[in-house]
């Protein structure tokens, strides 16, 4: 059987770009997200275009019972070579004293607990085979903190910390762990953050060339394809127009 990648948040943005790239390169895929139709459409395209096998799983990573559906995969599909912990989101951009606690719950449950639930199911499969590579999608928001980014930044700092912790725990089993930390990438991210306010979302990417989802997929592909003795611990990837969370040159 070909190599297998499990990608969470595969229905859009960075996850979808990873799915396309890995499919093109002949990986069999397990695609997970909440939007079934999007996953099914991608799966069908990949099967026809690349002749690969694809399993889709409609699941909310924040719901333990959804994630546990993965245990129902056939044994051959549990031989996951690459896990891309990508599902994540930001909700709102408010000062802490005005923050919406439901938004906080959603971000913490998805970005931190969701990543943990998935890892808890998949990492034992890798440990058993003494082989595998976990890619955790953090953010520049996990390296710095910006005004009104409070809870989103905290969740991504947690991912950064878990990335380091997983590397220690999985070290004896030869399982690689890589953190990928993008700056501004034009995806559905801002549309989700601003709850469907498309005009506000578009403004985030106006006046400069943001990263494209494909740029991040290619960086992940690079990390995954290093020789067995090499692990990329961390990659911080920014648009050329962005130095950090507060310095961005716009035309």
As annotated, the active-site residues are 152
What would the 3-class secondary structure string for 41-97 be? HHHHHHHHHHCCCEEEEECCCCCHHHHHHHHHCCHHHHCCCEEEECCCCCCCCCCHH
For residues 70 and 184, which CB has a smaller minimum distance to ligand NAP in the complex? 184
For residues 75 and 142, which CB has a smaller minimum distance to ligand NAP in the complex? 142
Residues between 150 and 169 with contacts to ligand NAP, criterion CB under 6 A: none
Residue 169: strand, helix, or coil: helix
* 132 binds ligand NAP per the rule CB under 6 A: no
Contact track, ligand NAP, 52-91, x by CB under 6 A: --------xxx-----------------------xxxx--
For residues 89 and 127, which CB has a smaller minimum distance to ligand NAP in the complex? 89
> What residues contact 251, with CB distance under 8 A and at least 6 apart?
207, 208
For residues 137 and 166, which CB has a smaller minimum distance to ligand NAP in the complex? 137
Total number of residues binding ligand NAP (CB under 6 A)?
Answer: 31
Q: Least Å distance between CB 80 and ligand NAP?
A: 17
For residues 42 and 11, is the Cβ–Cβ distance under 8 A?
Answer: yes
Residue 181, beta-bridge partner list: 236
Q: How far is CA 77 from CA 45, 52, 69, in A?
A: 20, 13, 13
* 201 binds ligand NAP per the rule CB under 6 A: no
Among 14, 42, 116, 177, binds ligand NAP (CB under 6 A): 14
């Amino acid at each position: 059987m070909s190599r297998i990648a499990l990608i969470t948040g595969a229905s859009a943005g960075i996850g979808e770009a990873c799915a396309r790239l890995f499919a093109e390169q002949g990986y069999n895929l397990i695609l997970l997200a909440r939007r079934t139709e999007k996953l099914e459409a991608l799966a069908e395209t990949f099967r026809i275009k690349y002749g690969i096998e694809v399993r889709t799983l409609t699941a909310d990573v924040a719901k333990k019972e959804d994630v546990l559906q993965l245990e129902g995969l056939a044994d051959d599909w549990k031989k996951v070579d690459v896990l891309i912990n990508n599902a994540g989101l930001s909700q709102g951009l408010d000062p802490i004293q005005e923050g919406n606690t439901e938004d906080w719950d959603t971000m913490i449950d998805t970005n931190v607990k969701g990543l943990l639930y998935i890892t808890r199911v998949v990492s034992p499969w890798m440990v058993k085979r003494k082989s595998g590579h976990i890619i955790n999608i953090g953010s520049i928001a996990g390296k710095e903190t910006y005004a009104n980014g409070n809870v989103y930044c905290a969740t991504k700092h947690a991912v950064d910390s878990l990335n380091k912790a997983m590397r220690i725990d999985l070290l004896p089993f030869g399982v690689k762990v890589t953190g990928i930390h993008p700056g501004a990438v034009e995806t559905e991210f801002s549309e989700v953050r601003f709850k469907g306010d498309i005009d506000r979302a578009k403004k985030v990417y106006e006046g400069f060339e943001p990263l494209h989802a494909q740029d991040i997929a290619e960086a992940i592909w690079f990390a995954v394809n290093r020789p067995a003795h090499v692990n990329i611990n961390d990659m911080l990837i920014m648009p050329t127009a962005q130095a950090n969370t507060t310095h961005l040159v716009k035309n």
